[in-house]
Amino acid sequence: MWRFLGGRIAMGALTIFVTTVAVTLLIHLVPGDPVQIMYAQSQGTTPEQLEEIRRNLGLDQPIHIQYLAYVGKLLHGDLGYTIRGHQPVLDVIMQRLPNTIALAVAAMIVAIAIGLPIGFFAAYKRGTAVDTGLMVVAITGVSIPHFWLGLILLFFFAVELGWLPVSGTGPLNIVLPAVTLGLSNAAIVARMTRSSMIDVMRQDFVRTAEAKGLPKRVVLSRHVLRAGLVPVITMMGLQFAYMMGGAIVVENIFAWNGVGRMAVEAIFQRDYPVIQGFILTFAVVVVCVSILLDAVYALVDPRIRRA
């Protein structure tokens, strides 16, 4: 188990290393002069000031020095300052990150609560009209753009019925964005669960369990569900990453004050330090969550635990 987790942690470290390199290079890939582009919107910046900004950002240094300087600052928790408002990027991100993680987790709960039972039931009824019907619903669900679903839910539940707040950040405000994001992913969870459960139902040990006269309920819960959940759990890391990605769009619909909304605003404003910080934070969160889930996976699956 430690070898397995060790490998995962090494892979995660590699991912974060690559991200730091990519993020340093990012500003150099911008066509034209990034400093001029960044400050194009603020009037009356003199060439001397631009030169100073370039020095402050370290852009006059050779690229490997820039990289080392960036990582050095990073290790001290310094992600630089925002172009607009000159606030520490780390603070700006840390203020919003909990909101995004809360949204992703809530959406994940919605996705699992709806997708898992549907997938399991469809697998149980495999080959019947019920199964086909559920899978048609699921594939339709995958196909509906979540930004559209979000708008429809918004207008129906918030504007027309007035049951839920239209936008903002708060405990009641999370319902609509979480349902929007969760519903689109419930369909994916349902499809995954179904095919994993069907694979398990075909295994010899399930036939043995049935043959020795165990009640169907016991076979399903103790043999099928437990074994069938393992691949579903491994996919959860990726699912969480999808949720974080989907949150970027959904946050913008519901004006949810998370890092996704911040990132889109930063792209419009060409606020590169914020974009760099966002990409790095996103990578770190996704890597940590997937390592955490791998640990859970190892605990659930004895084949890995004992290896």
Partner 1 sequence: MAELSGAVTDYDHEIVPSVRRTHFLKRVALSPGGAFGLAVVAILVFSAAFADVLAPYSPIKMGVGKRFLPPSPGFPLGTDEFGRDMLSRMMFGSRLTLLIGAIAVGISLTAGMLIGLVAAYRRGWVEKILMRGTDVLFSFTETLIALAFVAVLGPSLTNAMIAVGVAGIPFYARTCYSAALVERSKPFFEATIAAGAGPFRLVFLHLLPNVLPTMIVVATLGVSAAILAAAGLSFLGLGAQPPQPEWGSMLSGARDYFNRAPWLMVIPGIAIAVTVLGFNLLGDAIRTALDPRETER
Positive or negative CA dihedral for 9, 11, 12, 17? positive
Nearer to partner 1, 120 or 272 (CB): 272
Least gap, CB of 47 to partner 1 (angstroms): 23
We find the least distance from the C-beta atom of residue 247 to partner 1, in angstroms, to be: 9
Stretch that binds partner 1, among 43-51, 99-107, 208-216, 234-242 (CB under 8 A): 234-242
With binding defined as CB under 8 A, does residue 233 bind partner 1?
no
Is 273 a binding residue for partner 1 by CB under 8 A? The answer is no
Q: How far is the CB of 57 from partner 1 (least distance, A)?
A: 16
- Asked if residue 198 binds partner 1 (CB under 8 A), the reply is yes
Q: Is 275 in the site for partner 1 (CB under 8 A)?
A: yes
Range in contact with partner 1 (rule: CB under 8 A) among 52-60, 77-85, 203-211, 281-289:
281-289
Surface-to-core class of residue 304, CB atoms within 10 Å of its CB (0-12 exposed, 13-18 middle, 19+ buried): middle
Positions in 78-137 near partner 1 (CB under 8 A): 126-127
H helices of the chain, in order, are 2-29, 34-39, 47-56, 63-75, 89-124, 129-143, 146-153, 175-201, 204-211, 216-218, 226-254, 259-269, 272-300, 302-305
What is the distance between the terminal CA atoms of the chain, rounded to a whole angstrom? 6
Residues 6+ apart with CB under 8 A from 241: 286, 289, 290
d(CA 251, CA 260): 6
Residue 274's Cβ-side half-sphere holds a number of Cα atoms within 13 Å equal to 26
CB count in 10 Å sphere of residue 43: 6
- Based on the shown chain and the rule CB under 8 A, indicate whether residue 166 belongs to the binding site for partner 1: no
CB 195 within 8 A of CB 229: no
DSSP state of 212: T
Alpha-carbon distance 180 to 130, whole Å? 25
Instruction: Pick the closer one to partner 1 by CB: 252 or 257.
Output: 252
Which residues from 11-30 bind partner 1, rule CB under 8 A?
11, 14-15, 18-19, 22, 26, 29-30
- Contact between 31 and partner 1 per CB under 8 A: yes
Among 59, 137, 142, 284, binds partner 1 (CB under 8 A): 142
Q: Could you say whether residue 246 binds partner 1 (CB under 8 A)? A: yes
Closer CB to partner 1, residue 183 or residue 263?
A: 263
Segment lying near partner 1 (by CB under 8 A), choices 60-68, 171-179, 218-226, 280-288: 280-288
| Of the candidates 116, 235, 124, the residue with the CA atom closest to the CA atom of residue 187 | 116
Distance CA 131, CA 33 (A): 57
When asked if residue 282 is in the footprint of partner 1 (CB under 8 A), the reply is yes
The answer to the question of residue 286 lying near partner 1 (CB under 8 A) is yes
Assigned token pair, 236: 């959860």
Q: Which two tokens stand for residue 131?
A: 């199964």
- Looking at the Cβ atoms of 214 and 231, the one nearer to partner 1 is 231
Binding site for partner 1 (CB under 8 A): 11, 14-15, 18-19, 22, 26, 29-31, 126-127, 139-140, 142-148, 151-152, 155, 159, 195, 198, 238, 241-242, 244-246, 248-249, 252, 263-264, 266-268, 272, 275, 279, 282-283, 286-287, 290
